[in-house]
Structure 1
Amino acid sequence: MFYPKTPFLGKAALLESEILKVHSAALPQLLPWLCQTPRTTTYRVNTLHSSVTEFKQKLESILSFKYGPAAPKVYGLPELPEILCIAPLDSTTVAAYDDTHKQIIVDTSCGAALLRGAHIYAPGVLAMETGTQLRELVNVFADLPGKCKRGTTTRYECEQKIFLGVGEVLMQRHQLYNNTEQAPTGIAVQMKWNMSGVPALGDLSSEAAMLQNLPSIVCVRVLAPQPGERILDMCAAPGNKTSHIAELMRNEGIVIALDNSASRLRAMQSKLEHYSCIVCHHFDATKACHVDASPESNRPPFPPNSFDRILLDAPCSGLGNRPQLCCSIKQPKVLESYPHIQRRLMTQAVQLLRPGGVLVYSTCTVTEAECEELVAWTLRKFPQLQLVEATPKLGAAALPLPELSPTLCELLQRFGPDLDTVGFFIAKFQKL
């Protein structure tokens, strides 16, 4: 049984260097960093609906009620005026492990969310001991090897389960495993505290503000959308960046949001319905440009030179997500497939961007092939594109490559070790 202060990757989650293809100098820092939890929680305030001051007061009130004098600080960042950060809890607020509590087992995906401040929803509970009562405090463990059978009634004995924290039971066994056609929903276990020290608040997202990773917020600020512009979000789901674009445009202009998944597009509709400037389409962005398309239409495909700014937040391997409690090693062929789709999307984006327009490319991964190498390929393939500085600059410079000079590396942003964020990459181009 593991219960370290900093949850770590299990043996099955160690990402081999030859598969990751990251710079060798970064590996000693990268792997431990990927298994740690970002400890700062960030909310992006919708300034069209609320004020930063109002939402800050709300957060401070909730934290004060839950933690009293030990409530963590809520603060802003001058580079991102719409953001509020919640600091981690002081280490003294983490209670000692108590083996007298019954145990709850969750999968590693649920466990990772829990360490970032989430509560446990019904589908995430793999096992609960018989006799567990409502409002009872329980120890929560993640099943690293993935061998726990759903609905297990006895204590799950496993050397590779990891202790995550303590929660309060809000649903009993018969509610979770009643074998009815309708799966249970809602919070099953409300976390009291977790091992990461991130405040256990759940997701407080509403029309007033959205829980969002810091680099994703930086990404849209780098795009710098302006009121009245025509902007394309090529791979829009789940819609968080799309709504941020609309807010920075003050809901004036037009934002075309494309995604090739109908289900993901439906899921984000409620999030975007308050913005009159956003038009969503279920469409494959690798076919978004067509020379015979109507220049007057807001439906894809579109003619060349149609957009003032384009966000290409590309499909990627997602290896920047933290913490990675356990993950299946992706086969080289799978990892190698991502740059191919990224290049196809980039080719469409360059055609769709008007001269003088801005294109931002981003990924939530750490591989060179999907980040720095993709930028080098783009500059070779499209001489009409110029790399410009991605500001505001909250990330570090890119990893060095033979094709990218130190000057060009400084224009890019890589969120990696020594930063309290998820792994992320941002590049900003301008079409000459």
Structure 2
Amino acid sequence: MFYPKTPFYGKALLLENEVLKANSTALSRLLPWLCQTPRITTYRINTLRISVADYKAQLQAKLRSQYGQKAPNVYGLDELPEMLCIAPLDVAAEDLPVDDHLKQVIVDTSCGAALLRGAHIFAPGVLAMESNTQLQELVNVYADLPGKCKRGTATRYVCDEKIFLGVGQVQMQRHQLYKNNEKEESSPTGIAVRMQRNISGVPTLGDLSDANGLLQNLPSIVCVRVLGPQPGERILDMCAAPGNKTTHMAELMGDVGTIVALDNSANRLRAMQSKLANYSCIETHQFDATKAWHAAGNGPSSGPPPFASDSFDRILLDAPCSGLGNRPQLCSNVKQAKVLQSYPHIQRNLMAQAVPLLRPGGILVYSTCTITEAECEQLVAWTLRKFPQLRLMDATPKLGAPGLPLHPELSAEQCALLQRFGPSAENRVPNLDTVGFFIAKFQKASELR
């Protein structure tokens, strides 16, 4: 196992050696960065419902009520006018001492990562809570890195590989979290511990998403801006769940046109419906996007999938991926080399469907929330070899860094057209701190059918 040190905590990332070997230079170079928490919080504003200025005033009021004069700054970026950023608190991690007299709550690593990004702790994420912990009591919150803490543990969990995340206030007691009677209601929901402060310095706001604004990673907002959807167009979102990019497209189109959103999971589609309900231009289909092209069809298709060739003005292929750009990675020991190597195969299959579905002159954006060259630059190189009718376009607005060098498959000029979010000094916006992400923009030549 490999244990890189980070500014916030020590043994924070567990990765098996074969995973490192499978991903060449990119992953090994970025491991320390992956352990750290992106400190900027971003909300995408639904400008069809509210002005950015009004939403900003609401955010500022919320922050002032919680932090008073120490409230973090709220600001925007010219390149993404529908987005607002919340700066981190002006508190260093080492300024948060551990009070050993407080009782402890243990959470799993997934919950811990969300906590460090400003979330509160919901009931399913609580692995253990000490006996006699009272409502409103302050507790130390730790993440269980090795995953050995038994759910419902009532005594203090002793482990050298648990890490301190912050201090919270109890909202649910043990008897609410861990029901002994099988006939009782299913697992509880709701906030179990409301965080007061965390070691990352990200404001502990929870998720303020509603119909007016959505908590969303900055690169995902950039991705839809790169696609550039226009009112009246017919657009395909090949892998739409959870629907955040889908609704962003609808907003940029003024809810005029057609967005066809595909996902092969009925459960994911159901989860999207409340988010999509306020948009008339979105139609959803449970369908495997690797079968979306009907090769025998002719002309544009307005029916259900599969679709005829040249059916869409723009296509977003936000592909299934290894997700290794998600930060912080508190514990990532489940993705074996064999699993990681399977993603490029899926991504190629999806790309092979997308290209014939795109009309001549149309725009195709490929994106992933990962950092491996195999799923990013190498996938782009394969696409250009396989489909000569495609050419790379500049993925603007450009807030991230260029693609990684990939000689001889991609030239330096081609890499400059790509956009990669990572720990690079070449990011166009100073101090940009985001999840890992990759964006490539293609145009289909008009003269080739």
Q: Deviations over 1:388-421 (max 9, x none)?
A: 1000000100011121110000000010114410
Query: Which TM-score applies when normalising by structure 2?
Result: 0.92
| Corresponding letter in the other structure for 1:407 | E
Equivalent residue in structure 2 for 1:427, among 411, 415, 440: 440
| Corresponding letter in the other structure for 1:286 | T
1:37 aligns with: 37
Do the aligned partners of 1:231 and 1:256 also contact (CA within 8 Å) in 2? yes
Write the distance in 1 (CA, Å) between the matches of 2:80 and 2:439: 16
1:133 aligns with: 134
Say if 2:195 is the partner of 1:206: no
Do the aligned partners of 1:214 and 1:421 also contact (CA within 8 Å) in 2? yes
2:14 aligns with: 12
Say if 2:410 is the partner of 1:408: no
| Corresponding letter in the other structure for 2:14 | A
Residues 4/157 of structure 1: CA separation in 2 closer, same or farther (3 Å cut): farther
Shift of 1:256: 0.2
| Corresponding letter in the other structure for 1:10 | A
Q: What is the root-mean-square deviation of aligned Cα atoms in Å?
A: 1.6
| Corresponding letter in the other structure for 2:381 | A
| Corresponding letter in the other structure for 1:411 | L
Write the distance in 1 (CA, Å) between the matches of 2:331 and 2:374: 23
What secondary structure does 1:91 align onto? coil
Shift of 1:21: 2.4
Residues 213/9 of structure 1: CA separation in 2 closer, same or farther (3 Å cut): farther
Do the aligned partners of 2:22 and 2:341 also contact (CA within 8 Å) in 1? no
Say if 2:120 is the partner of 1:119: yes
Matched-pair identity in %: 70
Equivalent residue in structure 2 for 1:234, among 226, 233, 238: 238
Do the aligned partners of 2:227 and 2:365 also contact (CA within 8 Å) in 1? yes
Shift of 1:251: 0.2
What secondary structure does 2:68 align onto? helix
Do the aligned partners of 1:319 and 1:423 also contact (CA within 8 Å) in 2? yes
Write the distance in 2 (CA, Å) between the matches of 1:198 and 1:241: 24
Q: Deviations over 1:190-242 (max 9, x none)?
A: 00000000000000000000000000000000000000000000000000000
Query: Which TM-score applies when normalising by structure 1?
Result: 0.96
| Corresponding letter in the other structure for 2:55 | F
Write the distance in 2 (CA, Å) between the matches of 1:136 and 1:13: 36
| Corresponding letter in the other structure for 2:23 | L
Shift of 1:22: 3.3
Shift of 1:95: 3.7
1:265 aligns with: 269
Do the aligned partners of 1:363 and 1:424 also contact (CA within 8 Å) in 2? yes
Shift of 1:9: 5.2
Residues 406/92 of structure 1: CA separation in 2 closer, same or farther (3 Å cut): closer
The number of residues matched between the two structures is 427
Shift of 1:117: 0.2
1:61 aligns with: 61
Write the distance in 2 (CA, Å) between the matches of 1:98 and 1:5: 20
Q: Deviations over 1:91-129 (max 9, x none)?
A: 169542211110000000000000000000000000000
More moved, 327-336 vs 316-325: 327-336
Q: Deviations over 1:269-290 (max 9, x none)?
A: 1100100000000000011010
Shift of 1:149: 0.4
| Corresponding letter in the other structure for 1:427 | A
Equivalent residue in structure 1 for 2:395, among 369, 385, 390: 390
Do the aligned partners of 1:106 and 1:126 also contact (CA within 8 Å) in 2? yes
Gaps (5+ residues) in structure 2? Answer: 425-431
